[in-house]
């Protein structure tokens, strides 16, 4: 039976500014994909990321070039033959998972042989700002157990100390987004010990990974920009302890599950992260996050008006999106009108 593929760009305004070392976001710009077959419809979302050379236009073009094969019934397992890992394959892959659930009458959890999703402890992010403002943001996160602190190379010690003073009991992830050098990382070790950092995420630019060989850090070091798919893992041995799995890097739930299995087999810890996105991106990521040591799926928390039934942060826990949004047999949620 033939399918029908549609893809469009959408802009979802944020509640404020989300700043990291590379720039500022005020909206989530995403690609939404719908795949219809047999009276059912599956949906997926991808977030183009300039760091990887992606734009809304390039992702839509990739999907357009692959549409004929997908509409003719290309299996999800063969998507890698027409789409590289990235936002385009993520949106299509997740739409096909959703469609399979709708057509089969079985949820994605059931298709994976897993129980229904449950709430999960997820980080909330303190975006990069003046130390005083970051402290105030952390103070507003009452009951949160895990905080991710965005820093750059300007005043990371002051930022970390401000967040720790405002949130004395939370576990901390520090994320420089490739903005540090090996010298900065070394100089920050006493500060990270002082404030009690649990994880440092991608401190150096991906191309400078070699400097981490043999480096002894007071906190585990997590690869983010340095890892996309399972074949990247061998090059990270001896440099990283943990890998951050994002569906937009791995090319969807299928690629993320492959990376998860390979990371566990090769002795890496696992973090599951996200881009700034709606809950349509977060719903499939939950199926990987349930197997991770660190979870950072607060993308929808920044959205001013998310999908009905979207993920909700309640204290320390992130509640999974409603079944109607993604990955369950019956479609009940209404599509967002851009």
pTM of the prediction?
0.93
User: In CATH, what number does 120-319 get?
Assistant: 3.20.20.120
User: pLDDT digit string (tens) for 8-45?
Assistant: 999 999 987 777 766 678 899 999 999 999 999 999 99
- Within the chain, where are the H helices? 56-71, 87-104, 108-111, 131-139, 156-166, 182-195, 247-250, 253-265, 279-289
Is the CB of residue 70 less than 8 Å from the CB of residue 34?
Answer: no
Q: Which two tokens stand for residue 180?
A: 């540090």
The Cα–Cα gap between 136 and 128 comes to 12
Is the CB of residue 36 less than 8 Å from the CB of residue 81?
Answer: no
Level-2 CATH architecture, domain 4-106: 2-Layer Sandwich (3.30)
User: pLDDT digit string (tens) for 281-318?
Assistant: 999 999 999 999 999 999 999 999 999 999 999 888 99
For the ranges 60-64, 188-192, 237-241, 311-315, which has the lowest average pLDDT? 311-315
Residue 246 appears among annotated catalytic residues: yes
Backbone region of residue 73 per phi and psi (left: phi > 0; alpha: psi in -120 to 50; beta: other values)? left
Q: Which two tokens stand for residue 210?
A: 């070699």
71-101 core/surface letters (b: 16 or more CB in 10 A; e: else): eeebebeebbebbebbbbbbbbbbbbbbbbb
Write the DSSP string, 274-302: --S--HHHHHHHHHHHTT-SEE---GGGG
Element (H, E) at 105: none
Give the residue range(s) of CATH 3.20.20.120 domains in the chain.
120-319
Annotated catalytic residue within 4, 25, 148, 150 = 150
The Cα–Cα gap between 147 and 163 comes to 9
The mean pLDDT value of the chain amounts to 94
The Cα–Cα gap between 273 and 248 comes to 10
- Within 119-252, where are the H helices? 131-139, 156-166, 182-195, 247-250
* pLDDT at 194 > cutoff 80: yes
Annotated catalytic residue within 4, 25, 148, 246 = 246
The Cα–Cα gap between 48 and 87 comes to 5
Tokens 């909206």 found at? 27
For the ranges 24-28, 128-132, 235-239, 297-301, which has the lowest average pLDDT? 24-28
The Cα–Cα gap between 304 and 270 comes to 29
Give the residue range(s) of CATH 3.30.390.10 domains in the chain.
4-106
Secondary structure of residue 49 in the 3-state scheme? coil
Residue 148 appears among annotated catalytic residues: no
* pLDDT at 206 > cutoff 90: yes
Element (H, E) at 34: strand 23-37
């Amino acid at each position: 039976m033939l399918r029908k593929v549609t893809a469009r760009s959408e802009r979802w305004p944020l509640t404020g500014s989300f700043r990291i070392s590379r720039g500022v976001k005020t909206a989530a710009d995403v690609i939404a994909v719908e795949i219809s077959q047999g009276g059912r419809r599956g949906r997926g979302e991808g977030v183009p990321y300039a760091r990887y050379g992606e734009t809304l236009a390039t992702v839509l073009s990739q999907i357009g070039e692959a549409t004929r094969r997908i509409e003719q019934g290309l299996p999800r397992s063969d998507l890698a033959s027409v789409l590289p890992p990235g936002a385009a394959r993520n949106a299509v892959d997740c739409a096909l998972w959703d469609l399979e659930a709708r057509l089969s009458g079985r949820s994605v959890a059931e298709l994976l042989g897993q129980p229904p999703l449950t709430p999960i402890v997820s980080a909330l992010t303190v975006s990069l700002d003046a130390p005083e403002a970051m402290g105030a943001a952390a103070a507003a996160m009452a009951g949160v157990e895990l905080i991710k602190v965005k820093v750059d190379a300007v005043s990371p010690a002051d930022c970390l100390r401000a967040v720790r003073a405002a949130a004395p009991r939370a576990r901390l992830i520090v994320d420089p987004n490739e903005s540090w050098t090996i010298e900065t990382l070394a100089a920050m070790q006493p500060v990270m010990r002082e404030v009690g950092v649990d994880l440092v995420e991608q401190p150096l630019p991906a191309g400078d990974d070699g400097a981490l060989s043999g480096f002894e850090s007071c906190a585990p070091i997590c690869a983010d920009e340095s890892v996309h798919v399972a074949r990247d893992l061998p090059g990270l041995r001896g440099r990283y302890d943990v890998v951050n799995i994002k569906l937009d890097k791995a090319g969807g739930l299928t690629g993320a599950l492959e990376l998860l299995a390979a990371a566990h087999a090769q002795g890496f810890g696992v973090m599951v992260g996200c881009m700034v996105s709606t809950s349509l991106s977060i719903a499939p990521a939950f199926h990987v996050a349930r197997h991770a040591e660190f979870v950072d799926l607060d993308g929808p928390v920044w959205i001013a008006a998310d999908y009905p039934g979207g993920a909700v942060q309640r204290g320390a826990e992130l509640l999974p999106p409603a079944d109607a949004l993604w990955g369950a047999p019956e479609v009940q949620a209404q599509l967002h009108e851009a």
